[in-house]
Amino acid sequence: MFRSTLRLFSATSSSSGVGSSIANTVGLGRLNHVAIAVPNMKEATSMYRDIMGAKVSEPEDQKEHGVTTVFVSLDNTKIELLHPLGENSPIANFLKKNPAGGVHHVCIEVDDINSAVKTLLDKQVRIIDPNPKIGAHGKPVVFLHPKSCNGVLVELEQK
């Protein structure tokens, strides 16, 4: 099993143009958070805070992204609860397809968001909008298209 894991990460190229050097050239850091779209923010917050005993933030509207966020603090990372802010929210569309909610994206930190974007575009990785926007933590973020990331929406956030 260990050998197959090593082979997976040592592949030199793939059909998406992504090679083994991405972890080194993009400067991937730690997992910042896993984002979960929730149909009811109060219920979801209560579950993590009151039933599981986690520390949770106050809800915060992220108007530029069309979401309300709550962060659940864990020892090694965070969970971001996402709820639509308005009918045009991308989370509203996600919840139409997944009414019970579900994992929306994972967020990984990078050293330099602009350098990461350049490297990924050079390797033909699809980025939803290559112009970084300020995310929920007040830092620049971009989202990588799921078709370039094995079906997973990946958010990159500058450290």
12 or 128, greater pLDDT:
128
Whole-number Å distance between alpha carbons of 5 and 119 = 24
Q: What residue ranges do the domains of the chain occupy? A: 26-158
**Residue 51: band (very low, low, confident or very high) from pLDDT cuts 50, 70, 90:** very high
- Nearest in space to 91 (alpha carbons), one of 62, 113, 114, 120: 62
- Give the residue carrying structure tokens 């992504």: 18
**Residue 76: band (very low, low, confident or very high) from pLDDT cuts 50, 70, 90:** very high
Asked whether the predicted pLDDT for residue 147 surpasses 50, the reply is yes
**Residue 25: band (very low, low, confident or very high) from pLDDT cuts 50, 70, 90:** confident
pLDDT score, position 19: 46
Whole-number Å distance between alpha carbons of 98 and 94 = 6
CATH architecture for segment(s) 26-158: Roll (3.10)
Note the pLDDT tens digit of each residue in 94-128. Answer: 999 999 999 999 999 999 999 999 999 999 999 99
Which pTM value belongs to this model?
0.82
